[in-house]
Chain A
């Protein structure tokens, strides 16, 4: 039996437009996604902002009721059996919310332990163990308001593990963390996986998914557009090369023109301090480089490189260059 079974799951949101003549508008956040996660698997749900990742996790954690489809966690229906599902899952949502800032870490965990009906004798031992595991033992008596973002995120993990859940939902756990904090958190996730916990991780950091997940699903505009191992997803862009050009102040019209070149499959620009990095996906890098340089004529340029595609490049292709 799979730990998580999702079949044609859908979620719509109603919103209104206008002030006087109000019109109802339906936003389809999740449009019939289906996947299964095996017991003990670390599965990644990748997608850009607004793709439907958090909405999917909220439905699976019983916080939102789907408008269509079904989902089962450990064989239990997320709507009908919500009360039985809750003690067996743990979840954290990215960001700093969801904790009591005027309390210290120990009191936060004591409170949540009582909400999970953990015997005080058990929580007395489990709380120091978890605080040590997430590296907060020495600051356990300080108020959360004085914690860094990374420390709060680690406290979230300790909270989610209080009742030793079989299934964990980690929604963008490294969002906004500094590189060291993010690396430590990824190590914590690896440790959890070695304890055979089933984990659903959402992220838009491709290297994170590549490093941690056994399988990934790419979600875009509420639909799953690819699902496989990171290696196999990368294989889908084997025919591509990625040309990277450092450029200073690329005008929008030049970028738009580059996107229309026949040799260019997709293109994006990343800001890097004073400069930009133009990323072009092409199957003909030898032909593309001179054409690109010609288009950027007159602009100050830095390094020009061509490299093998990564999971991120596969993702960019799948989500249509967004």
Chain B
């Protein structure tokens, strides 16, 4: 099979998995609450509390809370979707199909991230217009580029997390712990300079850290273009590393799951 044909077929799998995940989510009242009602409440409270603050502080909080929402969605919706496939008995046919499971998981992650991003954008725009409090973005084009790379980086990071969920359903127990570790070490809500020095290398290897830095800098205008480009380079580099690592992780973890009989849950 030619490389081009293989890429085309796998892209079709990613978009099909995206479509299926998206459509399934929109028939789930719990998910709809999570992506429309809850962010609306959070956006209203955040902007109401910040109505007297300077505008760049408001955008810092909007981006920070958006990143936390994005990560939570990725971790829970992305991770739980693997567990869900196991419970519904579909993980076996997915693992046994010729298409790589990584392509399926990528499509599912893309759906979760897109939902989260759309929900954040819609909710904050709607509430800020309603309250007459404009949330301005200092460098819109660099912000848009940062968003695009953030989506790619989060998918790459999600593939690493997703592979662990394939390994064993018990990984779900560590979800809450993972949620706050990434909030803190990625500087979503406060700069990592406030953390002890020895934690800095850990932040540097997390793509959400570079994503948060690029988005904060582009939205508030607090960082130079050079700094944003540097963050982009790091996002691309780490995304490539994560994507390559996930290929090997998926292969070995799927083999382990076939050895341990954990693809299904009877």
Contact = CB atoms under 8 A, between A and B. Distances in A.
Interface of A: 13, 58, 61-65, 83, 86-87, 91, 93, 95, 97-103, 107, 110-112, 114-117, 120, 159
A259 B27 CA distance: 57
B7 to A, nearest CB: 12
Contacts of B223: none
A112 B20 contact: no
Contacts of B94: 115
B54 to A, nearest CB: 46
A99 B12 CA distance: 20
Interface stretch (B96-104, B113-121, B159-167): B96-104
A98 B98 contact: no
Interface string B69-102: 0000000000000000000111011111111000
Contacts of A95: 89
B52 interface: no
A100 B88 contact: yes
Given A65-B259, A116-B99, A159-B93, 20 more contacts: A63-B95, A63-B263, A65-B258, A91-B93, A97-B88, A98-B88, A98-B89, A98-B90, A100-B24, A101-B88, A102-B24, A103-B23, A111-B17, A112-B93, A115-B93, A115-B94, A115-B97, A115-B104, A116-B97, A117-B98
Contact of A100 (B20, B98, B104, B258): B20
B255 interface: yes
B9 interface: yes
Main secondary structure of the interface of B (DSSP, over half): helix
24 contacts: A58-B261, A63-B92, A91-B96, A93-B89, A97-B89, A97-B90, A98-B88, A98-B89, A98-B92, A99-B90, A100-B20, A100-B24, A100-B88, A100-B90, A102-B23, A102-B27, A102-B28, A107-B20, A111-B20, A114-B12, A115-B16, A115-B98, A120-B12, A159-B93
A164 to B, nearest CB: 13
Contact of A63 (B16, B88, B96, B98): B96
A64 B23 contact: no
Given A98-B90, A110-B16, A114-B16, A63 B258 contact: yes
B99 A114 contact: yes
Interface of B: 9, 12-13, 16-17, 20, 23-24, 27-28, 88-90, 92-99, 104, 255, 258-259, 261, 263-264
Given A97-B89, A98-B92, A110-B16, A86 B24 contact: no
A117 B207 CA distance: 32
Given A62-B258, A97-B88, A98-B92, A86 B16 contact: no
A62 B96 contact: yes
A84 to B, nearest CB: 9
B98 A103 contact: no
Q: Give the interface centre of B9, B90, B96 by most chain A CB atoms within 10 Å.
A: B96
B13 A64 contact: no
A226 B13 CA distance: 44
A111 to B, nearest CB: 5
A107 B21 CA distance: 12
Contacts of B12: 114, 120
Q: Give the interface centre of A13, A114, A117 by most chain B CB atoms within 10 Å.
A: A114
A201 B70 CA distance: 46
A115 B9 CA distance: 9
Contacts of B9: 117
Q: Give the interface centre of B12, B16, B89, B93 by most chain A CB atoms within 10 Å.
A: B93
